[in-house]
A = this chain, B = another copy of it.
Amino acid sequence: MPEAVGVGLVGFGTIGTGVVKVLLRNAEVIEQRLGFPLRLLRIADLDTETDRGVDLGNVRFDSDADGLIEDPEIGIVIELIGGYGVARDLTLRSIERGKHVVTANKALLAVHGREIFDAARKQGVDVAFEASVGGGIPILRSMREGLSANRIQSLHGIVNGTTNYVLTEMEETGEAFEPVLKRAQDLGYAEADPSFDVDGIDAAHKLTLLAAMAFGAELAFEDIPTEGIRGLTPLDFEAAEEFGYRIKMLAIAKLREDEGRERIEARVHPTMIPSKDLLARVDGAMNAVAVTGDAVGPTLFYGAGAGEMPTASAVVADVMEVAREIHRGSAGRVAPLSYVPDALQQKPMVPLGELVARCYLALSVRDQPGVLGEIASILGEHQVSIESMIQKARDHAAGAVPIVVLTHPAPEAAVRSALARVDALPAVVAPTRLIRIEEEL
């Protein structure tokens, strides 16, 4: 029998438990695919007490992560401890010891990716991270290899299950954000501190990885315009439905070529998309990424974006890929970010103000004569042309009426300037909400 590849796991939480389950339960099919077995040799976690409900047999389990990294029988270290500090240290030290690393840690890669990939290249080891975006969906592999012949033109991703769950629930129940978030927290779909998810930070982290793969563009995630979903109201969902849209939290990146200059448009925000679009049918905690390439045209990759077993599916697929390399005595088959390091560039980003999109505007105004005309005039002065304007009946008792406006495509800067003036009108009682519309995914 060909030699087994030794695997060590650092971080025995939910995902780690899933990884152990998959490695043990599917050992036979894994070996049938690889031609040799994987052997889980060691697990390290600070918590060695909690019963994870898996029979570890003779797998060594202790809190000695350092020992695991040093263990000469271990060829692949699976890093599942999360966060930036300890994870970075552990990953870099594993690489130094000549270990290949598999991780699901998008935050780590979004922030310290360059350092980690450089170190891995110098040491001749692989760093694999399929599980860091889209959970079980093999989206990174597909962009790196399946669509590698394409100039990627755009990608639109539902890459955060928590926000997609909350939006789906808000739409279905007509409830406000807070109670739905509370329920998501009770059900385990949202963290106690949900900001990472609902404010779009997690999606922006993932977008930096996706944009690198798609365009060879190194984006700093802090530079990605990011808006969360806290401001959305039941009215927005109601209006979206009337207009033939659904609201999805999207991570969007596009290649823009103006006068021979390549720039990247990247942003994370709640977006109205046509209801008939496949991406609009992705509900609950599921994820999907739509990718358009110049040759392949539109594609979509759908699956569970999080959770114990789906994420473990991606982690173990990576372990298998790396194990093949170990068996062949090689590494670095594919550039981790799809483009070889020299080709990765800090491409200029399109400022959000230059974005041209149809917009949904939700205003709250005092019900008095002439207000609609005033608003329409201001929008017109900024060349923002109105496709439809509807006065909704709700909240009338509160002394204000909601108005929803759909604009024709307009530059965001113009819309923002107009809204600054609109919101300063005495009759406008609350800041206007803007939701961008994407027609072509």
Contact = CB atoms under 8 A, between A and B. Distances in A.
A288 B298 CA distance: 12
Interface string A420-436: 00000000000000000
A136 interface: yes
A26 B333 contact: no
B278 A145 contact: no
A383 to B, nearest CB: 36
A309 B138 CA distance: 23
A310 interface: yes
Interface string A125-161: 0000010000011100110111111110000000000
A34 interface: yes
A220 interface: no
Interface in A331-351: 333-335, 338-340, 343
A159 to B, nearest CB: 15
A295 B309 contact: yes
A319 B150 CA distance: 13
A273 interface: no
Taking each of A25, A30, A142, which has the highest tally of chain B beta carbons within 10 Å of its own beta carbon?
A: A142
Taking each of A149, A151, A333, A343, which has the highest tally of chain B beta carbons within 10 Å of its own beta carbon?
A: A149
A302 B278 contact: yes
Copies of this protein in the complex:
2
B151 A26 contact: yes
Given A32-B343, A33-B338, A22 B295 contact: yes
A223 interface: no
B299 A300 contact: no
B149 A316 contact: yes
Contacts of A137: 146, 296, 299
Interface stretch (A61-69, A173-181, A320-328, A387-395): A320-328
Contacts of A150: 22, 26, 29, 313
Contacts of A138: 141-142, 145-147
A312 B276 CA distance: 28
A281 interface: yes
Contacts of A317: 145-149
A35 B335 contact: yes
A410 interface: no
Contact of A296 (B30, B33, B298, B303): B303
B340 A149 contact: no
Nearest to A36: B340
A144 B145 CA distance: 12
A16 interface: no
Contacts of A151: 26, 29
A294 to B, nearest CB: 7
A149 B30 contact: yes
A293 interface: yes
A417 interface: no
Contact of A33 (B148, B278, B295): B148
Contacts of A300: 288, 300-303
Given A141-B142, A148-B317, A313-B149, A26 B281 contact: no
A8 interface: no
Given A21-B295, A30-B149, A333-B333, 11 more contacts: A26-B149, A33-B148, A33-B339, A136-B147, A138-B145, A141-B141, A149-B312, A276-B281, A278-B302, A293-B313, A296-B304
- Would you list the 3 A-B pairs with minimal beta carbon distance, nearest first? A138-B146, A149-B316, A32-B343
18 contacts: A22-B150, A26-B151, A29-B151, A35-B340, A138-B145, A141-B145, A141-B146, A145-B321, A149-B313, A149-B319, A149-B320, A295-B309, A295-B312, A295-B313, A296-B310, A299-B301, A324-B333, A328-B330
